[in-house]
Amino acid sequence: MPTDVKGANDELCLVTTSSLAVLDDGKDHAGLQSVSEANEPNTSQSNNSELSKRQRKKLLKLENWEMKKKEKRQKEKEKMKAKRIEAIQQGLPIRNGPSRKELKRRKVSYSNATIEIVVDLSFDHMMIDKDVAKCVKQLLRIYTLNRRSERPVPLHFVGIEKGGAVERHLARNDGYRHWDVRFSSEHFMQLFKPSTLVYLTSESDQVLDRLEDGCVYVIGGLVDHNQHKGHCYQLAQQHGIRHARLPLAEHLVIKTRTILTINQVFEVLLNVHMGKQWQPTLLEVLPARKGVTPKPCDVTVGDECMRTVENETKT
């Protein structure tokens, strides 16, 4: 081999060796990083590939909803502000109910309360995610009803599993921890005296004809479309506590199911607690699609039925 060619080869070897040394020192790793990144598997893509088409669609829909939620709320605020300005210009009343400041000052008095209402939320494992979302939506309605009531009752949301579906859906509502509601992960049997508890269930043979002072009424926070019929009734029997059903059949003629939502049961109890009669309360709370009608009073049960009997006698 000629000397000049050999020298050129030696120089080439030296350049190659020095280049590798530079790379090893970490001074020029861009090329190597691009190669390694290309060879590494994409974790998010692999996770998405494991999901079904329907699951990916639901996930995308949820992400879009979370992004648009704040924007939607801002638009609602602007719309309400425009309506307020228009009402002021036209000299119309700008508020139908109490102001926000008044509502914030209106706190539930636990020491002077005659009754308390508990929503048992220990059914995470028995509901699909869609039904949990419905359950939490009904909790929002309960909180709003109680907050705007002239006589709010002490309200407890208990049995919330830490890191569970109910807690996750509640967390989507900013500031829910500041509600005038007592949240707890403990079971209601650990929070209240068993002698004061009354579990409300439609399967009970005991009729709730009046609200007793000192009682804690438990509503089952289970949205299952009647898949677990009688579960709350069985719970009450297992724990050895009292149970009762709302007096629907005693005051109404109903041709459909008598299963009410969580917020409907709460609204009935709240109205009766405020002094309203059972029959008008039930007619007001139950939706029109159930086709309920007032039941004629053929026996004297309370002042309401006495007045009905007297009117029929006069006519």
List active site positions.
224
List b or e across 71-94, with b for residues whose CB sees 16 or more CB atoms inside 10 angstroms.
eeeeeeeeeeeeeeeeeeeeeeee
Number of helical (H) and strand (E) elements in the chain, helices listed first: 13, 8
Q: Is 118 exposed, middle or buried (0-12, 13-18, 19+ CB in 10 A)?
A: buried
As a whole number of angstroms, the distance between CA 142 and CA 217 comes to 14
Read off the amino acid at residue 82: A
Q: Which residues contact 144 (CB under 8 A, 6 or more apart)?
A: none
14 is in an annotated binding site: no
List the structure tokens of 183: 């949240």
Best CA proximity match to 194, nearest among 246, 271, 118: 118
232 is in an annotated binding site: yes
As a whole number of angstroms, the distance between CA 47 and CA 49 comes to 5
SS3 state of residue 193: coil
31 is in an annotated binding site: no
Strand partners, 242: 198
Q: Is 25 exposed, middle or buried (0-12, 13-18, 19+ CB in 10 A)?
A: exposed
Q: Which residues contact 147 (CB under 8 A, 6 or more apart)?
A: 103, 106, 179, 180
Looking at residue 225, what DSSP letter applies?
T
246 is in an annotated binding site: yes
As a whole number of angstroms, the distance between CA 159 and CA 120 comes to 6
Best CA proximity match to 109, nearest among 158, 159, 149: 149
Q: Pick out the residues of the known binding site for S-adenosyl-L-methionine.
A: 200, 220, 232, 246
Q: Pick out the residues of the known binding site.
A: 200, 220, 232, 246
